[in-house]
Amino acid sequence: MTKENRIKIYAECALVGLLLLLAFHFLQERIVHHGLPTGDEGSWMSAAAEFARGNGFSTRWLEYLFLQHWTLPRPDDFRYPGLVLVLAAAFKCFGISLGTALGAVAAVFLTACGAAYLVWRKFFGVKTALVTLALTAFSLLQLYWNAQVYTEGLFGLVLSLLLLATVYLHPAGRAYWIAAGIIAGLLYLVRPNAVLFAPAIVFAGIWYFKTRKIPLWHSFLALGAMFAVMTPWLARSWLQFGNPFYIAGNAGLLSPSMNQTAGFSVGGFIGLHNGLLPLKALAKGFLNLTDTLNFFEHGLEILPLAFAAVALLQKRTFYNALAAAGFLLSFCACCYVGYARSWAAVRYLLPFMPFVYAYGVHAMIGLGEKASGRFFPRLRGMAAPFVLAVCLIPVVNPHRYYERTLAAAPKTDRCFAEYVSAITDLVGQNQTYCAGSLAQLNFLCNRNCVGIQAFFDSSKVDTVVARFRPKMIVVTVAEEKDPTMQAIQRGFQRTCGGLRLVAENSYGRYYMIGAEAKK
């Protein structure tokens, strides 16, 4: 290696390190001011904490949207194992705390950035890779969700590994398909929408068969490897729930709105909405998705996506056949989800965005170098810095990296009753997110909670106890006076052996049940 090449490599490493340090700085700002956990964070951390303690996926509570008559009561251990195992390992090494979980998620995201950089470098070259890494480090969308305890960063890391495998292995060999199948299976264990890579593998196999005469059975080899990785989790879900694909979205896959019942069979769904709703949902969902994406990215996405469209029109290669099929199917799924839940659609799309940005950035740099080479040859090398500067214009104001994050640091020495008050105050009277508040309480106070909503009748108590083995229930003030809810409480007393009031506030009353009630 020549001295000049060594200098280039050192300079590249220094730039990559600097960009990762910037990303770490922005993540750290959010972690320091994170506040109490919200949304699904407590659910992930509770499951991981129990796993770290050697109890498996054992914490339990009920969620509002999943208590309808068409679903079995489900424990929180529907949480897929990928993130749970990462968090559990961190808890085992550094102790169980919110700070440990946030640090683990941030570390995973930074590792994902490094792995993605290798993908971009291999496909598009150093210039595109550096610019895309900078956009990812400054992306408000990435920073917002990767400073919370969610799966986005881990999904991005495994997705990067999948693309790396398809870079360094040749599709003519069996190793390519086996590796792709194994990593796609691991991707599914992070988040179930990765199952879309199964048909993507088939499409890629057909493409390579037609274009390169690669045997079609190679794609079935990949499918076999993928489902071999998935099978233990599918079998476990089948044994516990009677459904191998038991996921959080089961109750909402056929629901066109948050307020409409999701208790349809496919035939009933088509009969009510006709077969055109999916097309309508895709079109409307696309508009909702782009609007919500712009909200989170503050315009950072505009030019990379515009030039990605230009690159498609120019018929530039989008990574490879497997990536193209997987990304396209995932994008369509996100558009459908965006019809009713655009914030969720953006989250599901988030790990794919940097790879799409890289595709657009590569086209931008190529056009810039072509234009400058023709009119200003001496400025040809400035195309990449110019593209980066232009893309960052929408987020040039430094305050944008701190808005919605500067809150008082949370107290960590509250007693149980104070946690009850703080958590429930976040929820108010919104029953939909009652379960989210119970999840936070589970993690912060090491209690296993069950929230019982008014439409949950007393005949289900035995089923709940058998499947959940709950240690705690929460009853709102209104429910406390309801005859049906009183019957449910009596059912818990009869089935579990007693109730004991341990805390109460303006929102509700908190009871320990069974053996816990006697302590």
What is the rounded distance in angstroms from the CA atom of residue 60 to the CA atom of residue 435?
10
Token representation of residue 478: 């209104």
| Amino acid found at 227 | F
What's the mean per-residue pLDDT of the chain?
A: 79
Residue 511 β-bridge partners: 473, 501
40, 7 Cβ separation under 8 angstroms: no
The residue among 347, 326, 84 whose CA lies nearest residue 226 is 326
Give the rounded percent of residues in the chain with a pLDDT score beyond 90: 38
pLDDT of residue 256: 44
pLDDT digits (tens, 9 = 90+) for 152-166: 999 999 999 999 999
Q: How confident is the model at residue 446 (pLDDT cuts 50, 70, 90)?
A: low
3-state DSSP of 387-456: HHHHHCHHHCCHHHHCCCCCCCCCCCCCCHHHHHHHHHHHHCCCHHHHHHHHHHHHHHHCCCCEECCCCC
- Residue range 9-68, pLDDT digits in tens: 899 899 999 999 999 998 988 888 777 777 778 878 888 887 888 877 754 444 433 333
Measured N-to-C along each axis, helices 383-391 and 126-138 cross at an angle, to the nearest 10 degrees, of 20
Q: Which of residues 510 and 142 earns the better pLDDT score?
A: 142
Q: In angstroms, rounded to a whole number, what is the distance separating the alpha carbons of residues 48 and 292? A: 30
Q: Residue 197 has which token pair? A: 């890579």
What pLDDT, on the 0 to 100 scale, is given for residue 19? Answer: 95
- What is the per-residue pLDDT for 44? 86
User: pLDDT digits over 253-264, tens only?
Assistant: 444 444 444 444
Amino acid present at 256? P
What is residue 476's predicted lDDT score, i.e. its pLDDT? 67
Residue with tokens 């696309």: 286
- Token representation of residue 6: 């060594």
Question: What mean pLDDT is predicted for residues 342-366?
Answer: 92
Between residues 476 and 382, which one has the greater pLDDT?
A: 382
Residue 301: what residue type? E
Residue range 265-285: mean pLDDT, rounded: 71
93-107, 369-383, 384-398 — which is least confidently predicted?
369-383
Q: What is the pLDDT of residues 75-88, one digit of tens each?
A: 445 678 999 999 99
Residue 486 predicted with pLDDT over 80: no
Q: Which of 66, 435, 496 is nearest to 243 (CA)?
A: 66
pLDDT beyond 50 at 306: yes
> How many Å apart are CA 105 and CA 46, to the nearest integer?
15
At 488, is the pLDDT very low, low, confident or very high (cuts 50, 70, 90)? confident
Sign of CA dihedral 144, 147, 148, 151: positive
What band does 5 get if pLDDT is binned at 50, 70 and 90? confident
Best mean pLDDT range from 132-141, 232-241, 277-286: 132-141
